[in-house]
Amino acid sequence: MLIIVKNKDTLLVDDFKFRCSIGKKGFNKKKREGDFATPTGTFRLGNIYYRADRTQKPFSKIKSIPIKKNMGWCDDPKSKFYNKLIKIKKNLKVRYEKLYRKDNKYDLLILIKYNYENVIKFKGSAIFLHLTKNFFPTNGCITLNKKDFLILSKLINNKTKIKIN
């Protein structure tokens, strides 16, 4: 199965057409950390992460992991943990994206495995498919509303890829 991000506001999967949003600077073949662009290419998906205190575990063939208060995603190119899930500790001296947030953006998210297996520093990190209520442009992620995210999670499996034009 293939998820297709057709343009800045359309995501297609099977017979479903969902409204989405992408990075403030649009698509970019040469994604860089902090450039506010969504990387182009075809990528595998990672796990689904969810806030168990706010939403039920989504029905999916992809592994779902509850988000804990100490979970973060390293976006510090100088760190050996760059573009990886980390445990947040008080004396942690790396930059990271907190997954347990006050807003609802990360109540449900799927990792897009961009720059993930063979990590290249400064090439970009923390590219997720996550929730939105307003479809404002993102820092590089792709967003869906919760209803559509839950439909998508039922359709995908471990072999599903996302093609971002």
pLDDT of residue 91: 85
Nearest residue to 83 via CA among 146, 32, 36: 32
Hey, where are the domains in the chain? 2-164
Q: pLDDT digit string (tens) for 18-46?
A: 999 999 999 999 999 999 999 999 999 99
Residue pLDDT, tens place only, 98-152: 999 999 999 999 999 999 999 999 999 999 999 999 999 999 999 999 999 999 9
Mean pLDDT value across residues 58-66: 97
Q: What is the Cα–Cα distance from 89 to 96, expressed in whole angstroms?
A: 11
Q: Is the pLDDT of residue 90 over 90?
A: no
CATH class of segment(s) 2-164: mainly beta
Q: Which residues in the chain belong to E strands, given as ranges?
A: 2-7, 10-13, 16-19, 27-28, 38-39, 41-50, 64-66, 71-74, 85-87, 96-98, 108-112, 128-131, 142-144, 161-164
